[in-house]
Structure 1
Amino acid sequence: MNRDRILVVDDEPQIQRFLKPALEAAGYDVVEARNGAEALKAAATIAPALVILDLGLPDMDGKDVIARLRGWSQVPIIILSARDQEAEKIAALDLGADDYVGKPFSIGELTARMRTALRHRIQETGELTRIVVDGLAIDAIRRTVKRDGEAVKLTPKEYDLLLLLARHAGRVVTHKTLLTSVWGPAHGQDMQYLRVFIGQLRGKIERDATNPVIIRTEPGVGYRFVAD
């Protein structure tokens, strides 16, 4: 049986002692790195399926590791860090991290997010042509959206917003990324503008817009398209 190889980057010995056996018991092969330089070298040589990355490394900030990895790799990256400020989460996600788990954490939550990242990591090459979730069908070639077989009428911006979220299924997409990608850099801070469009979009695609299951809010950070 092929086992996904996970690169764990953390300089805390207790975290390494806990994570390695826990992840191996969950069916993964684990490679460890204790600083940014080791992490970058390992990522280039072993081609991991996923990277678990602490932001507080002894030789460089974890965000620098993300930026350098994203220069040549789309490997899923899950941040595992005690830094709980929203600004840190947003910066890491904007640089290309897929998800963020705060310390202390449960192994159940971490492995669930790992499975999601491994399933839904969709490279930003426009390869996604169709996705179906909870009766919602998006056809990127025909630019159509249907709910239970019935056409859903979206404005061009609503459609672009939905497709961007769908193409990052399972990932947290920050407010800034959504705003600048759909409306341009001048709208990077228009949070209320984005909330209005998300509300309109949910009203058209969710079975219950007051209890959304497809487009989830990540408070203070952004939104996540759930394709499970």
Structure 2
Amino acid sequence: MSNMQKGLAEFIGTFWLVFGGCGSAVLAAAFPDVGIGLLGVSLAFGLTVVTMAYAIGHISGCHLNPAVTVGLWAGGRFAARDIPLYVVAQVLGAIVAAFLLWHVAEGNPAFDLATKGLAANGYDAGSPGGFDRTSALIIEILLTAFFLWIIMGSTDGRAPAGFAPLAIGLGLTLIHLISIPVTNTSVNPARSTGPALVVGGLALQQLWLFWVAPLIGGALGGWLYRTIGADSFPKPNIEGN
């Protein structure tokens, strides 16, 4: 696949993750008459990954997340030279999805961006459950590391073939069930960036944590699997890795 194809696939896939995942929180969970709750939003995020993994996994690998891209590099499965292409495509997809989601939500007179937000991530006053910055850092690093472990393990050459998208999607669902009350769940800097740019204010001020923590966690998870998991996945010929 060409770089253009890979970049467009990552753009489309990340758009789908943000529009589908954040959209479930903004359009379905926020209104009592059609509320889907914590379980519904968590499942929606997982489903976006499952569906896109089958749709674009063979094109770009379906990273949809700068932390995944960096984690796969740390795990020896991705070339460092391709990181900028993937990250830019992912962030742009997330931004476009967030702005379109905002415009859709505004079609309901009951929607108010200042009070309802756009499923932005945060800590302290920005946390759904009032959790502090330390809790946010710990949960985002830890869960992103485990997310990379799941990705690396389920796509290992020794794992059952064809089931990786399900394991990864269900893993992301579980991650959301754990951490929505803490940070509204990021584990993905692109997913955090789109809504933060739309909402602004506190969400934008706290965005740094949702880049730093997932990138650390992703790199840690990828490195740990490469080290401990004795990865048998066929290694690409990557110069400088």
Bin of the TM-score, shorter chain as denominator length: under 0.3
Q: Which has the larger radius of gyration?
A: 1
> What TM-score do the two structures reach when normalised by structure 1?
0.25
> What TM-score do the two structures reach when normalised by structure 2?
0.24
